[in-house]
Amino acid sequence: MYQNSGRFLLTSLIAALIAAVLFLPGLPGDFVLDDVANIVENEPLKIERLDPESLYKAFFSYQMSGTMRVLPTFTFALDYWRAGVMDAATFRITNIVIHAVTACVLAWFFRSLLLATGLPMPRVRWVAPALALAWAAHPLQVSSVLYVVQRMQTMGTLFLVLALWAYLCARLAQAQGHPGRRGMLLAMLAWLFAMGCKEDAILLPAYTFALELTMLRFAAADTQLANTLRRGYLMATIAGTAAFLLVFLPHYWTPVAYEGRDFSSSERVLTQARVLCMYLGQILLPLPQHMPFFMTGCNLPGAAAAMDHTACNRLPDGGCWLLHGGCAHDGRCSRWAYSCSSRRTSSRAMWSGWSWPSSTAITLP
């Protein structure tokens, strides 16, 4: 057991190292776009010493992108302190490290997931790191990693993967008759950290629900616990649907929610089918010519601007056009994957592993 874990640790670290090295050519270049308002012009981040007053101001500094993103903002301050100046390369090195750690943790998550399907360890030992590396090395990740402010997304993704892994381990323990409390507590803690990075981490229950539907099937040695899980997810689904229809939809489906933008909520929704097809094409065939920056050929007034806002960003000194923030995490692709998969347990496991989205593309109103 320990020997297998040691070997897998080595392969997962190798996968993470490869993923990190691939992004090193992107270190040169200055801060761009939202980096300026969130980092460069954010004076409380420019700390010169690690005293309580400076750290407090940095932790609760102004956040243009969202009021809950305190953890990434705090790390921006630490990067400034480490470099002594606003050096974009220093900030990007931290982003690359976060991405590499996420790839390593993701490999362990896939390991637990695949072993639970009955896949033999010799195959899992290379399949899980290969899947993690395929995710981490995909060209769509370049924007997420090298666009400095997207640390809000990548840090959130790291803690979400940790939460999912802890939840999976806890549920597998419960299926064998163990309490699984430690795993659940760790999952809750990681979820809180994810919420401190970006608001879309609130979707974790949707991802665990996907795990239950496709892989875990609400299994537990204790029948009462299994019934409690089913009722709990049912009530959460009803409550979430009601909140979306009665609270969030009326709030965001108004012109006031889009003041300062040259598109409306309805125009943005009308772009989603086209953007989904674009994402699928970029995931399957990630060529530079398939990754435009400005959306053209759209006749709806304001729709092209909505697609630009939803989908795209220019890489610093990169020479290619890539999606905005974490787009390789787009969970809408998971529906397509599941419809194409067989009914085998391993196929459901692959879908559930892919269905943990962490993309601004599906969470912005």
Please count the structural domains in the chain. 1
The low-confidence residues of the chain, meaning pLDDT below 50, are: 1-2, 300-301, 303-365
**Residue 68 structural domain:** 2-197
pLDDT of residue 43: 87
SS3 assignment, position 322: strand
DSSP 85: S
Take residue 198 and report the two structure tokens written for it.
Answer: 């970006």
Question: 244-259, pLDDT tens digit by residue?
Answer: 999 988 887 887 777 7
pLDDT of residue 271: 84
In-domain check, residue 308: no
In-domain check, residue 158: yes
What is the rounded distance in angstroms from the CA atom of residue 168 to the CA atom of residue 187?
Answer: 9
Q: Give me the DSSP letters along 207-229.
A: HHHHHIIIIITT--SSHHHHHHH
In-domain check, residue 286: no
CA angle (234 as vertex; 198, 241 as ends), nearest 5: 55
Q: Give me the DSSP letters along 26-76.
A: G--S---THHIIIIIT-GGG--SS--HHHHHHHHT---TT-TT-HHHHHHH
Q: Does residue 319 contact residue 277 with C-beta atoms inside 8 Å?
A: no
Question: 152-206, pLDDT tens digit by residue?
Answer: 999 999 999 999 999 999 999 999 999 999 999 999 999 999 999 998 899 999 9
In-domain check, residue 61: yes
181-195 helix and 151-175 helix, angle to the nearest 10 degrees: 170
In-domain check, residue 99: yes
In-domain check, residue 9: yes
In-domain check, residue 82: yes
For the entire predicted model, the pTM comes to 0.79
- Residue 256 belongs to what H/E stretch? none
CA angle (80 as vertex; 66, 53 as ends), nearest 5: 75
In-domain check, residue 42: yes
